[in-house]
Amino acid sequence: MTFADPPAHDAEPYDVAVIGAGVVGCAVARELSIRGARAVLIEARNDVGDATSKANTAILHTGFDAKPGTLESRLVARGYTLLSEYAVRAGIPVEVPGALLIAWDQEQLDELPVLAARAEANGYHRTRPIGADELYAREPHLGPGALGALEVPDEGIICPWTTSLAFATEAVRHGAVLRLDSPVTAVTVGDNVTVVETATGPVATRIVINAAGLGSDLVHAMFGLDGFTITPRRGELIVFDKLARPLVSHVLLPVPTKMGKGVLVAPTVYGNVMLGPTSENLDDRTATGSSEDGLAFLQHHGRRIMPDLLAEEATTIYAGLRAASEHDDYQIGVYPQLRYACAGGIRSTGLTSSLAIAEYLAEAITDVLGLPLKPMAHPEADPHPPHMPNIGEATVRPYADAARIAANPEYGEIVCFCERTTLGEIRDAMRSDVPPRTVEGLRRRTRATMGRCQGFFCGATIRQLLDAPDPSTAAAPTTRHNEGAK
Amino acid sequence: MTSTGPVDTDVAIIGAGPAGLAAAIALRRAGVARVTVLEREAVAGGIPRHCHHAGYGIRDLHRFMTGPRYAQSYVARATAAGAQVLTSTMVTGWTADGGVHLTSPAGRRDLHASAVLLATGARERPRTARMVPGDRGAGVFTTGQLQQAAYLFGQSVGTRALVVGAEHVSYSAVMTLRHAGVDVIGMLTDRPHHHSYAAFALATRIALRVPLRTGTRVVEVQGRPRVTGVVVEDIATGHRRTIACDTVVFTGDWIPDHELARARGLTMDPGTRGPAVDAGAATDIDGLFATGNLCHPVETADVAALSGRAAGHSIARWLADRHRAGRQSGVPIEIDESFEWVHPQRASTLVDLPRNKIILRPRVFASAASIRVMQEDRCLWSGRVRHLVPTRPALIPTGWLARVDPAGKPVRIESALRTHD
């Protein structure tokens, strides 16, 4: 692997073990390792961001509709600022098309001023009501019957995959150890050292941070604590073909009412259009399959919101599980006697708030758990600025970059036609600090095979590139700092 | 016009499958000096390259070949005829003045041509586009991916496979699975019969002992990280059962690769979902033509090649006299509910069509159909077509195109079906 082997049990304990390499865990590991902590990032699955974090609606939220006064409200607003800045710096695909909350009946129309007032209470001051005429002028493919909308001009869309990956990459570059395939089975809290038992062996650490998402209540219980229970909330989504992209200009949000939350239609940074999610509480923490009823529900709503969208081909259907707790707010707590902190019950807003959660926890660790951390480096002073491969449509991708192809013809060799992923990008991903282990992992790093043909043309080639040793690695060693560990 | 400024080539053909290569050969033989075929795959030849069983070349080359030999033959003949075939060269979009953007390892550049022929073919609808819910475990294929995995790379595929679909390509998938050492436990189709050749179906059922379940649809794929089973439903009774398998191949249900056609703003036909064309392969943009399985998804490779050859003739004529024949012409051809689509969709008087036939695609099985081609109350042609099968062509002659009133109302193809008893 390209990162160091996990140290033996009798090695010096880590300063911090972060359990869960979702977007929150990766953000925490990044923050702590940049600030000088010796961190280990423990993940049950075979990739970062592979559970809840990979399958959300990919919205960069302003937090306008959060419950005022909650920690979630505060951290989403702060996270929006931090992640917007970081995304530009790290090359994470992000766009700000703005959102329109669309009222389809009088009850929803009456709710718009309430939502505008809530936005004010959350410190967001740029909402604006718009009438049906302006709404249809701006979204001409909207289905008939909309009465008006509330505009939220700063709602964005972001690549959730690159976000987790950028955080993990930066953490690893700052010395954090990424330990995949390591579900946590038990925790023993000693006087100075906590031993985290995992499927790949024990990990000794001074401090544990629980960012285990769907498993966060189970890890919490391992510390003898209760207080929240995770109920997986399944959200199914349909992603439509890129040919549908011109139909939609904004994130089209439903107005939440007593009758339910409704579904949204949103462009994606890859140039697709997303319809969803459903919302269904489950018992099974692994039930990431889509369902007949869920798809029928989405098609029913989609036909109302944008009939033309349903005439386009679906590229992907998938389901994510949100780590919802019974509480209205994030379950973030610090337990000094246990040298333990928990970031549980983080729902879909966790993508936006991830950097703010990390900042908040780092402060708590310094103040409450007594681990001295360096101040966060100023961006320009960061010795290892991350720069993630661009897989978004808003900026030039390698296949369209004449200078890049001239410098390396592999960027002119398109392997995945639907997504225009080049051989150069696949090779880069394979050589990266946090390389993929599966086709799915490669897809999240390069978009290969995520397009309309779903591998009809390139599926076998991609598998070959993933399985076969990379001939160019041996022939032409690169100067990347950890290449030798491969 | 496709390009208003100076051109790099006379004809740019997008796609080096049977249709594109046959068009290139026809154009060169007609004396067109510069013919450039642009192929995004690393090897030219198109989908037949992946089909290692025999049965190619019957109608166009009057031979009986395997897919790869057939593909190689077309590439060799196109090259020998003097066409330039550029592989690993993908057209990623259109320039503002009607040229195309190219990406290849040789670089990023634009290409301008006097005429452009779209021959981008078709692909099978994958599981997701068919909205089949369930887990996203590995082991779900289209025939295209399966054949590349099995034949080009020798990758392991699975052990127990279910094939969804019962058209020609579905039987091709069965043979590929057999080749790869996979036990094919069954085929299923939501239609009442298979729709391939009777000999294929019989041989598969008897010799390979692959049962076919008709009137059955897939409602869920189960299992992760690997497929463990498929839930199927008897459409008539609603009865559901789970079939254990680790591989499921979604075959057929073809959709044209029409991204470039749509990006250019061509009028699309709602039936084929390809660009609407006249009987000379002309689209509604002057100098821009379309052919092959992009326009009739799908015919067998030899018919796609004949379609390309006909388009080549049409383009050569246009290049020779652009004022006479160029822009799409003719009144629309409309169909009744018995048919999914018709090719071509415009009744032009200049006719370059594969096998000199109009292709109709039946929606339902029928032993025969009486067909009338009407323009208002005038009957242009009437006759019988036998053995109508969904996904397969029903052909009618083209002589009546000469009798169409170009200033009149659309032509309508009407049918009376006699269904199976």
Q: What is the pLDDT of residue B349?
A: 86
pLDDT, residue A381, reads 56
pTM of the shown model: 0.93
pLDDT at A286: 85
Would you call B133 and A289 a contact, using CB atoms and an 8 Å cutoff?
Answer: yes
**Minimal Cβ distance to B90: which of A243, A317, A414:** A414
Size of interface A-B (CB pairs under 8 A): 122
CB B326 within 8 Å of CB B287: yes
For chain A, what percent of residues have pLDDT higher than 70? 92
* CA-based nearest residue to B54, from B141, B171, B164: B171
Which among B103, B149, B262 is the nearest to A399, CB-wise? B103
Residue B326: the pLDDT is: 56
Interface of A with B (CB under 8 A): 238, 242-243, 288-292, 294-295, 299, 313-318, 399-402, 405-406, 409-410, 412-414, 417, 420, 439, 452-457, 459-461, 463-464, 467
| Tokens coding A324 | 């919802």
In three-state secondary structure terms, A342 is: strand
The string of pLDDT tens digits covering residues B340-381 is: 999 999 999 889 999 999 999 999 999 999 999 999 999 999
Please answer whether residues A62 and A124 qualify as being in contact, where contact means their C-beta atoms are separated by less than 8 angstroms: yes
Instruction: Quote the pLDDT of residue A384.
Output: 61
Please calculate the CA angle B73-B78-B79 and round it to the nearest 5 degrees.
100
For chain A, the average pLDDT equals 91
**pLDDT attached to residue A483:** 32
Which residues on adjacent β-strands are paired with residue B243?
A: B230
| C-alpha–C-alpha distance, residues B194 and B174, integer Å | 14
Residue whose entry in the numeric block shows the structure tokens 């006379």? B10
pLDDT at A468: 75
Question: For B45, which DSSP code?
Answer: S
Write out the DSSP string of B132-195.
--B---B-EEEHHHHHIIIIIS-----SEEEEE--SHHHHHHHHHHHHTT-EEEEEE-SSSS--
Give the CA distances from residue B215 to residues A267, B196, B239, in Å, rounded to whole numbers and listed in that order. 37, 16, 11
pLDDT for position A441: 96
Alpha-carbon distance A201 to A199, whole Å? 6
Q: Tens digit of pLDDT for each residue in B165-204?
A: 999 999 999 999 999 999 999 999 999 988 888 888 888 8
Q: Which residue has the tokens 């192929």?
A: B39
Mean pLDDT within B223-238: 96
Residues B236-246 have a mean pLDDT of 97
Taking all residues of chain B, what is their mean pLDDT, rounded to a whole number? Answer: 94
Q: Do residue B103 and residue A455 have CB atoms under 8 angstroms apart?
A: no
Element (H, E) at A310: helix A307-310
pLDDT at position A480: 34
Q: Is the pLDDT of residue B2 over 80?
A: no
Q: Which residue of A has its CA nearest to B143?
A: A456
Nearest-CB residue to A455 (from B131, B145, B219): B145
Tens digit of pLDDT for each residue in A188-238? Answer: 999 999 999 999 999 999 999 999 999 999 999 999 999 899 999 999 999
Assess whether pLDDT exceeds 80 at residue A21.
yes
Which residues on B lie below 8 Å from A455 (Cβ)?
126, 141-142, 145
Query: Is the CB of B131 less than 8 angstroms away from the CB of A317?
Result: yes
Comparing CA positions, the residue from B383, B376, B364 lying closest to residue B412 is B376
CA pair distance A411, B247, nearest whole angstrom: 33
B109's CB contacts (< 8 A; 6+ apart) are A402, B101, B102
The residues of A carrying an active-site annotation are: 61
Tell me the CA distances in angstroms from A391 to A90, A317, A405, one per residue in order. Answer: 12, 20, 16
Distance between B255 CA and the closest CA of chain A, angstroms: 10
- Chain A: give the shortest CA distance to residue B105, in Å: 4
Cα atoms found within 13 Å of the Cα of residue B196, Cβ hemisphere only: 24
Q: Looking at the DSSP assignment, which residues form a beta bridge with residue A344?
A: A331
Angle of helix B301-320 relative to helix B67-80, nearest 10 degrees? 20
Neighbours of B323 (CB within 10 A): 6
Residue in chain B nearest A312 by alpha carbon: B129
Find the mean pLDDT for residues A123-136.
98
pLDDT at site B420: 58
For chain A, list the domains and their CATH numbers.
Answer: 1-94+156-229+326-389 (3.50.50.60), 95-155+231-324 (3.30.9.10), 398-485 (no CATH)
| Distant-in-sequence, close-in-space partners of A135: CB < 8 Å, separation ≥ 6 | A100, A102, A142, A146, A148, A149
- Do A66 and A365 meet the contact criterion of CB atoms below 8 Å apart? no
Pairwise CA distance, residues A3 & A163, whole Å: 19
Q: What are the tens digits of pLDDT across the range A135-150?
A: 999 999 999 999 999 9
Residue B3's pLDDT band, with cuts at 50, 70 and 90, is low
What distance in Å separates the CA atoms of residue B60 and residue A286, rounded to the nearest whole number? 53
Residue B417 clears pLDDT 50, i.e. is over it:
yes
Tell me the C-alpha distance between B13 and B32, whole Å: 13
Measured CA to CA in angstroms, residue B318 lies from A131, A248, B289, B312, B395 at distances of 52, 39, 11, 10, 26
Residue B363: the pLDDT is: 94
Spatial neighbors of B410 by CB under 8 A, at least 6 apart, are: B331, B332, B333, B334, B375
Residues of B at the A interface, defined by Cβ within 8 angstroms = 40-41, 88, 90, 92, 101, 103-109, 123-129, 131, 133-136, 138, 141-142, 144-145, 148-149, 152-153, 155, 219-220, 222, 224, 255, 259, 262
Residue B114 contacts residue B287 (beta carbons within 8 Å): yes
Give the model's pLDDT for residue A376: 82
Inter-CA distances, B73 with A234, B76, B88, Å: 52, 5, 19
- The C-alpha atoms of residue A470 and residue B419 are separated, in whole angstroms, by 58
Tokens of A294: 């869920």
Residue A377 has pLDDT above 80, yes or no: no
